[in-house]
Amino acid sequence: MNQSEKSNPEYDANKDFQHFIGKVVREKKVSKQDITKIRKAFLFAKTAHEGQYRKSGEPYISHPLAVAKIVYEEMGLLTTGIIGAFLHDVLEDTPVSKEEIQSQFGKTVLDIIAGLTKISKIEGAELGDSYQAQNYRQILMTISDDIRVVIIKIADRLHNMRTLGAQQGHKQLKITSETLYLYAPLAHRLGMNSIKTELEDLSLKYSEPQAYNEISQRLNISKADAEAYIQRFIRSVKQCVSITGLKIIKIESRFKSIYSIYKKIQTKGVRFDEIMDLYAIRIIIEDRPQKEIDDCWQVFTTISNLYPARPDRIRDWLRLTKSNGYQSLHMTVRGLEGRMVEIQIRTEAMDATARKGMTSHWMYKEEKEIMVVDQKLIDFTDRVQEILKDKSSSAEELVSIIKTEIRLDNLNVFTPKGDMKTIVQGASVLDFAYLIHSKIGNHAIGAKVNNELVSLNHIIQQADQVEIITSSKLTVKEDWLKWVITPKAVHAIKEVLKVKRKEKQEWGKLVVNRFYKRLGISENTPEVEELLQFLSLQSLDDLYYKVGIHDPDVLSKADDFIKHKQNQTPVPISSEPQKENSINPEFLVLGKDVNIENVVIASCCNPVIGDDIVGLQRKNRVVIHRTSCDVAIKWMANHGSDIIKANFSESEGVSFLAALKVQGLDSQGVLIELLRIISVSMKLNMRKVFIDTKEGHFEGLFLIFIQSANELNRLIDRLQKLPNVKSVTRTDNNFKPFEN
């Protein structure tokens, strides 16, 4: 809870409420009786929070009121949702009892508020990882109880994000990482696209302020030009569609969100001015029953006669609807002056569904509290419930499995016989094998996708026809876990591996026991502990397993161990794990006074001077990540108290290792040119270069010592301008070409 001494005399809660309730009355979606209930809830909350203030200095009631506005105006909830929003913090932060709420507002309202309180109770506790994961699990459980709990929770989060400026730095990072990790994907899954976009943009504003400011400034500069261009483009499109006789209801233009541009720059390695779909329009045509789909394609054909459409950017969501109910036809064309424009084509009815997302399906008959929902939403909540039932996985595992469900849309895929199956986007052929039957998965060796032979880790696309090739043998391997994302496949593979591992362990145990005999020791003697340490293994079971699979490293080292023992020479202590990216703490300014033995630079994101960074503390070790790093976001979203706001100090002559992934066409001289720019022209030192070529393309990893983000950006810019270089992006040290 946010309490502070200050107060803001200018804020008038009653006035603010009058304004809101006036609007609700005018819009007539809520009955007169219900207006009275809403008034009562507001007064109840105001009295309960009397004397409490937010960090910003405003009376606390301003917050529940803002959340109530969000659920009504932006999410489409009515009476019960509004009342829930008003009361969402009273159970936790005020002496109000459950009985009182039930007697005043009824059982449904109490259940919603109790659900919300359960969530924030855990959230408040700044404890270890499993606690936070349990909190997420709790949020996800309420999806199947009463989805309004989650909706109010997202509204609560949205208001907290809008007012995040009042919080301290490390708290901001914690809150933004949770938002990116769970709340934004959840909002997206529930079809609340503008809320998802706002949550992401706000997260970027606080986690990567430099990137946010740069992009928003550049967007503002180019806006006038973009608007003029789009108007010209729309005129020409209108003209050509009018010839077909189809009626255009309206054409809208839209701009990309700051966060989506940022993500594109980061992952695709393009420059701001190269972002293709900076221009986007939406053509909404009249509904003609039975003809909707043909009409959309007619518009498509007409436009592509005028402007060439890029074949790789056509997305048909007309027949194959997305799992959130979306229907639309997307294309990208080379428009006037050669600029790329993304065009969405849909009918009025399709547009209405796209706009409201699932909100159109969670209308409640207020008096009876009956929920009317869409089948796809029911499917989703059922799947969430199914996953949560799994007792063998930890809360953290469950949350990450559901996150996959949330993030992704379903694809329709066909069996050789033409049966349609749905599978989550991003799934591999192996996932598909397990979807059909775990026996097929366990015996899979390859597949044919649209009659072409592919490996098991091949990612399935919309409308693919997939045939699995099996063998009579059990073919499951450890590596398979990296290739699947569906819970069913993960679970089945783990089961087989468990059995396999057991067998290997038993075999290994026999070998190791013979080994003990030769040394004259037993399982419980101190030498065994010494042996494990020497081999850097965690447990005896690990040792048995490694021996069981004839791990050459372990076997030869174990031999060394025996020799030392037999010759009675001291056993050397095994070498420390590599600390190649350790950095002198003097180069950092940490927002918290901690006794730090070592500070290291994370090799997943390789921050350099000038990046927005954060320190993640585990015991007396602090790892410095970029605030935008996915690993860091996941860590911050799951750990409470160990986030340290960090900055690089203005020191000179410090070098950081940066990892760049470079992709392009494998033409003569391009690699020499790359190396020339790095080492001759920019005089940078390289630690490692690793390049591979395939079918006329090359991909490479360059590990380069760099002094600042500026220098790195200059380098990226210069490399990108080379004729045959397609993209240059920052990556991690472990990147391997063509392994993706």
The residues that bridge with 727 in the sheet, in sequence order, are: 663
Question: Which residue lies nearer to Mn ion by CB, 89 or 123?
Answer: 89
Nearer to Mn ion by Cβ, of 34 and 156: the residue is 156
Taking the complex as a whole, how short is the minimal distance between the CB of residue 493 and Mn ion, in angstroms? 41
Please say if 630 is a catalytic residue: no
Q: Are 702 and 659 in contact (CB under 8 A)?
A: yes
What is the Rg, in whole angstroms, of the alpha carbon atoms belonging to the chain? Answer: 29
Helix (H) or strand (E) holding 238: helix 209-242
Chain position whose Cβ is nearest to Mn ion:
156
> Shortest approach of Mn ion to residue 57 CB, angstroms?
17
Pairing of strands 420-424, 410-414: antiparallel
Helix ranges (H only) for 28-70 are 32-48, 62-69
Euclidean distance between CA atoms 397 and 136, whole angstroms? 11
Q: What is the DSSP string of 271-296?
A: -GGG-GGGEEEEEEE---TT-HHHHH
Question: Among the options 16, 74, 93, 214, which is catalytic?
Answer: 93
> Which tokens go with 594?
């901690």
* Residues in touch with Mn ion (CB under 5 A): 89, 156
Tell the residue number behind the tokens 């980061």, with chain if given. 266
Contact (CB, 8 A) for 287 and 353: no
C-alpha triplet 686, 683, 215: angle, nearest 5°: 85
Token pair 């089945």 in the structure block, residue: 492
Rounded CA gap, 129 and 181, in Å? 14
How far is residue 207's CA from residue 210's CA, in Å, rounded to a whole number? Answer: 9
Of 607, 594, 562, 731, the residue nearest 210 (C-alpha):
607
Tell me how far, at minimum, the Cβ of 166 lies from Mn ion, in Å: 14
Cβ 69 vs Cβ 113: under 8 Å = no
Q: Whose Cβ is closer to Mn ion: residue 89's or residue 711's?
A: 89
Give the nearer residue to Mn ion in terms of CB position, either 120 or 606: 120
| Nearest approach, Cβ of residue 92 and Mn ion (Å) | 9
* Total number of residues shown for the chain: 740
Yes or no: say if 217 and 241 are a contact pair by the CB < 8 Å rule: no
The count of other CB atoms within 10 Å of the CB of residue 518 is 10
Minimum gap (Å) between residue 156 Cβ and Mn ion: 4
- Residue 419 has a CB neighbour count (10 Å cut-off) of 9
Toward Mn ion, which CB reaches closer, 89 or 198? 89
Whether 280 and 344 have beta carbons less than 8 Å apart is answered as yes
Distance between CA atoms of 105 and 88, rounded to whole angstroms?
Answer: 13
Q: Give the active site residue among 12, 34, 50, 92.
A: 92
274's CB contacts (< 8 A; 6+ apart) are none
Please report how close the Cβ of residue 313 comes to Mn ion at its closest, in angstroms. 42
CB of 63 to Mn ion, least distance (A): 6
Cβ-based burial of 705 (10 A; exposed 0-12, middle 13-18, buried ≥19): middle
Q: Report the nearest approach of Mn ion to the CB of residue 64 (Å).
A: 7
Residue 358: left if φ>0, alpha if ψ -120 to 50, beta else—which one?
Answer: alpha
The residue among 160, 141, 7 whose CA lies nearest residue 89 is 160
Structure tokens at 283: 């053509």
- As measured in angstroms, the least distance from the Cβ of 144 to Mn ion is 22
Look up residue 615 and give its two tokens.
């320190």
Instruction: Report the nearest approach of Mn ion to the CB of residue 60 (Å).
Output: 9
User: Number of helices and strands (H, E) in the chain?
Assistant: 28, 22
Residue 637: how many CB atoms within 10 A of its CB?
22
Pick the closer one to Mn ion by CB: 38 or 408: 38
Classify the C-alpha dihedral 271-276-282-288 as positive or negative: negative
Question: By C-beta, is 113 or 646 nearer to Mn ion?
Answer: 113
Q: Residue 50 or residue 379: which is nearer to Mn ion going by CB?
A: 50
Count how many Cα atoms sit within 13 Å of the Cα of residue 293 in the half-sphere of its side chain.
8
| CB closer to Mn ion out of 163 and 328 | 163
Smallest distance, Å, CB 122 to Mn ion? Answer: 14
Nearer to Mn ion, 66 or 192 (CB): 66
Burial class of residue 289 in the structure, from the number of CB atoms within 10 Å of its CB (0-12 exposed, 13-18 middle, 19+ buried): exposed
Query: Minimal distance in Å, beta carbon 88 to Mn ion?
Result: 6
Please give the full DSSP string across 158-170, using - where no structure is assigned. Answer: HHHHHTGGGS-HH
- When the beta carbons of 158 and 333 are compared against Mn ion, the nearer one is 158
CA 11 to chain centre: 37
Q: Give kind and range of the element (H or E) at residue 657.
A: strand 656-665
Q: Which is nearer to Mn ion, 156 or 342 (CB)?
A: 156
State which residue, 70 or 447, has the beta carbon closest to Mn ion: 70
Q: Are strands 725-730 and 656-665 parallel, antiparallel or unpaired?
A: antiparallel
In the annotation, is 541 catalytic? no
Cβ 679 to Mn ion, closest distance in Å? 55
What gap in Å lies between CA 525 and CA 532, rounded to an integer? 12
Write phi, then psi, for 301 (nearest 5 degrees): -60, -45
Classify residue 175 by burial, with Cβ atoms within 10 Å: 0-12, 13-18, 19+: buried
Return the active site residues. Answer: 92-93
